[in-house]
Structure 1
Amino acid sequence: MEELLVSHGYPALFLLSFLAATVVPLGSEWLLVVLLLRGFDPALSVSLAALGNTLGAMTTYAVGLWGGPFLIGRLLRIDQATRRRAEGFYARYGRWSLLLSWLPVVGDPLCLVGGVLRVGLVPFVLLVGSGKLLRYLAVALLVLAGGA
């Protein structure tokens, strides 16, 4: 499987990064590392990984945005008063948590909550995209420093 993904290079990195930011339990950093070690362009690799991962997070955000009423009312059974308190808290403090959307386990739920609580698209993309770009940049710098 690894050789199949590596042989498709940039498109595989983009797709794997996209899927890794949805509810599909995948990781994409390993493919970035392999591609960098095989001489792929670092700037393009980091950019594609960050873009794919951000677009995947936007998919999770959209599920929260459009599926929010169902998630809140039927699955989680949260009443209006509790929802208003949660929205107020998130409006003050939670938006910045989207910078941590790159973290395993908690990242996808943060993006989902961002959609449910209707964080604006521009702040969402800026915060999530920044966090994801910094993660892939850090991985690339570590790989390149180790290879030097």
Structure 2
Amino acid sequence: MEFWLEYGYWGLFIVSFLAATILPFSSESILVAMIFGDFDPVLLVVYASVGNWLGGLTSYGIGRLGKWEWVERFLKIKHKTVEKWQRKSEKYGAVFGLLTWLPIVGDPIAVALGFARTHFLMTSLYMLIGKTARYALVSYLLLHGFLL
């Protein structure tokens, strides 16, 4: 973890990006450490949100390409899982992007939104809102003593 902390805001950005793609990172653990460090909480939320959002859009893009082999190989998401979330994505549309911040299912949702070819700008906006809300809530709860 110290390795990422050395890079400050950009370290958080990179971890948040990777956490939304292929690697099982916990961007929240880095965020927590940085909140109790000498970092601006607002900038932490911005860097974490944008990094995680761009990572989610990468998963969306891979889904949009429609290559199951890539999804299974690079994202380690099973075909059956994506099909399940794709049906829901087709039903609820871009609004489903709000849920891409969720642990475990967020990546399959992003891929499924791509496979379902939901409206890119709306999906992108909902993904950004959901991911920003998560980091803002975690930061708020930490700063006000509700967590830890």
* Common fold by TM > 0.5: yes
Post-superposition Cα deviations, 1:42-63, rounded to whole Å, max 9, x if no partner, equal 1111000000000000100110
Report the TM-score when normalising by structure 1. 0.82
In the other structure, the counterpart of 1:90 is 89
Unaligned runs of 5+ in 1: 78-82
Q: Distance in 1 between matches of 2:22 and 2:3?
A: 23
Q: How does 1:5-84 map to 2 (within 5 A)?
A: 5-66=4-65, 68=66, 70-71=67-68, 76=79
**How many percent of aligned residue pairs carry the same amino acid?**
39
User: Taking CA–CA contacts closer than 8 Å with sequence separation of 6 or more, which of the two structures ends up with the larger relative contact order?
Assistant: 1
Post-superposition Cα deviations, 1:94-119, rounded to whole Å, max 9, x if no partner, equal 43222111111100000000111111
Report the TM-score when normalising by structure 2. 0.82
Unaligned runs of 5+ in 2: 73-78
Q: Distance in 2 between matches of 1:3 and 1:95?
A: 37
Give the counterpart letter for 2:56 in structure 1: A
Q: Distance in 1 between matches of 2:109 and 2:13?
A: 21
Q: Distance in 2 between matches of 1:92 and 1:4?
A: 42
Which runs of structure 1 show a deviation greater than 4 angstroms over 4 or more consecutive aligned residues? none
Q: Distance in 2 between matches of 1:123 and 1:95?
A: 6
In the other structure, the counterpart of 2:3 is 4
Q: Distance in 2 between matches of 1:134 and 1:109?
A: 20
Q: How does 1:101-140 map to 2 (within 5 A)?
A: 101-140=100-139
**Larger radius of gyration between Structure 1 and Structure 2:** 1
Q: Distance in 2 between matches of 1:65 and 1:25?
A: 22
Give the counterpart letter for 2:20 in structure 1: A
Q: CA deviation at 1:23?
A: 2.0
C-alpha RMSD of matched pairs (Å): 2.3
State the aligned residue count. Answer: 134
Give the counterpart letter for 1:45 in structure 2: L
Matched position secondary structure for 2:145: helix
